[in-house]
Amino acid sequence: MLMHILHLTEPDRGLTKFTFGTRTSMAVFAVFASMNQEKAKDILDYLVPNNTEVWVNWKSTIVNQLESGKERQFNESDWGSSQDLVKMLDGDAKVAYQGFKVFEPQLMY
């Protein structure tokens, strides 16, 4: 699925390997690299199937960031005991977004 999301199924396309420290970083990179706003939530749900309140809100934030083109952050004070998870997810998303911005000129849509 990831190959299809990133349009790497065409025979004349070269293959670049990207390595991320976490599955969430990989998922965020895949969403931004796909540039598919209509399927962004579906891609995140497929790659990160967790559906707790924190994860659902995190996925919504990523989708909103893709749609707006602006970098977004979580308000940690809203998450109580989940603050550590939110900080980790926010960090993963930042790493993935920064990686995407570096490689964006090389990605062909």
Q: Which residues of the chain have pLDDT under 70?
A: 1-15, 71-81, 108-109
Cα–Cα nearest to 82, from 44, 46, 55: 55
- Pair 104, 36: CB distance under 8 Å: no
Helix axes 23-34, 53-68, angle to 10 degrees: 30
The pTM assigned to this predicted structure is: 0.70
Residue 109: CB partners within 8 Å, gap ≥ 6?
Answer: 7, 35
Helices then strands (H, E): number in the chain? 5, 0
pLDDT value of residue 33: 85
**How many other β-carbons are positioned within 10 Å of the β-carbon of residue 77?**
7
pLDDT value of residue 41: 92
pLDDT value of residue 83: 76
pLDDT value of residue 18: 80
Q: Alpha-carbon torsion 82, 80, 44, 62, what sign?
A: negative
Q: Do you know the residue count of the chain?
A: 109
pLDDT value of residue 9: 59
pLDDT value of residue 89: 85
* DSSP classification of residue 105: G
